[in-house]
Amino acid sequence: MHFIIFMKRIQFIEICILEIYYIHSLMIIGILVILVFVVLQINHQHVYMEIFLT
């Protein structure tokens, strides 16, 4: 009986770890996408500035 409860607890902990890992990876992907977008925007601004100044 105790063994079954222990196994269920381990499964619950594994699910929690997986959910936390999934949320963290989504957050990291989101941050990377935002960073890439910002860098592209800055690069485009530099290109526009160069075209405008020349």
To the nearest whole number, what is the mean pLDDT of the chain? 85
Task: Quote the tokens at residue 11.
Answer: 């499964």
In this predicted structure, the answer to whether residue 53 has a pLDDT above a threshold of 90 is no
User: How does 6-19 read in b/e, with b if 16+ C-beta sit within 10 Å?
Assistant: eeeeeeeeeeeeee
Instruction: Say what the pLDDT of residue 19 is.
Output: 92
Q: Is the dihedral of CA 35, 36, 38, 39 positive or negative?
A: positive
Degrees to nearest 5, angle at CA 43 with 39 and 48: 145
Domain regions of the chain by residue span: 1-54
Whether the pLDDT of residue 50 is over 80: the answer is no
Q: Is the pLDDT of residue 32 over 80?
A: yes
pTM to 2 decimals? 0.51
25 vs 52 pLDDT, higher one = 25
